[in-house]
Amino acid sequence: MVKKLPGEVWKPLQFPGWKHLRKQYALSSLGRIASYTKDVVADGKLLQGSLTTGYKTLNLHRPGNNGTLYIHREIARLFLKKSSPKNKYVIHLNHNKLDNAVKNLKWASLEEMIEHQQHSPAKIAYKKVQANRTVGLKLNATKVKSIKKVLNDKNRKITIKKLAEKYGVSEMTMYRIKSGENWGRIRQ
């Protein structure tokens, strides 16, 4: 038996192969998962699901289609309307991958998802750690200033490939330094 929470709405989860399973499954507007036989409230059992890369998932072995269902995607599919065909991704508004309540989910385009990830507390903390890292780096601020000076020189004679070899880094690193993606905080 599943106790219904205030304001909670349950919807049956239907996917390829769902009719061949012994149990039926339902998702709630508050992000909960349940299996049941006839009625989710009367004979349902709450499920925890699994974690896959931080997201809650349901692993179901369906005839001809074994697979993992990402709960946040399924809840969005059941409860939220896509405003555009470009919206193929589901984001967690509060950046908490375990909070699958409908009010915390939103369909987004690739660009919106990437922009949203840049404001994630985890991403901000990672950038802070990387910015202050001193161990294990091939380059330091002094070397990067020299590299930037050479890269920005209009009369540069050395190729990016040769410059990368000189400092023992990849060409891609040089391009990232030039664009400001890497070492952007260092000014020439």
The string of pLDDT tens digits covering residues 83-142 is 999 999 999 999 999 999 999 999 999 999 999 998 999 888 988 887 777 788 899 889
Cα separation, 5 vs 81, in Å, equals 23
76/40 same-domain check = yes
142/67 same-domain check = no
Residue 90: CATH number of its domain: 3.90.75.20
Flag whether 3 is in a domain: no
Per-residue pLDDT of 8-59, as tens digits, reads: 999 999 887 788 788 999 999 999 999 999 999 999 999 999 999 999 999 8
118/147 same-domain check = no
175/108 same-domain check = no
pLDDT band at 186 (very low <50, low <70, confident <90, very high): confident
153/116 same-domain check = no
Flag whether 154 is in a domain: yes
Is 144's pLDDT higher than 90?
yes
pTM of the model: 0.72
Cα separation, 107 vs 90, in Å, equals 5
Strands 55-60 and 50-52: antiparallel
pLDDT band at 63 (very low <50, low <70, confident <90, very high): low
Cα separation, 12 vs 93, in Å, equals 24
β-sheet with 55-60: strand ranges across: 50-52, 55-60, 67-70
**Hey, is 88 helix, strand or coil?**
coil
Is 148's pLDDT higher than 90?
yes
143/109 same-domain check = no
102/60 same-domain check = yes
142/121 same-domain check = no
Domain end residue (candidates: 83, 98, 125): 125
Neighbours of 170 (CB within 10 A): 13
Is 182's pLDDT higher than 70?
yes
How many separate domains does the chain show? 2
120/142 same-domain check = no
Flag whether 186 is in a domain: no
CA distances from 2 to 18, 41, 45, 46 (A): 21, 5, 6, 7
31/115 same-domain check = yes
58/100 same-domain check = yes
Is 188's pLDDT higher than 70?
yes
**Hey, is 108 helix, strand or coil?**
strand
What does the pLDDT read at residue 133?
Answer: 78
Flag whether 151 is in a domain: yes
**Residue 34 contacts residue 10 (beta carbons within 8 Å):** yes
Name the residue range of residue 173's domain.
137-179
61/114 same-domain check = yes
Q: Which helix (H) or strand (E) holds 70?
A: strand 67-70
What does the pLDDT read at residue 76?
Answer: 97
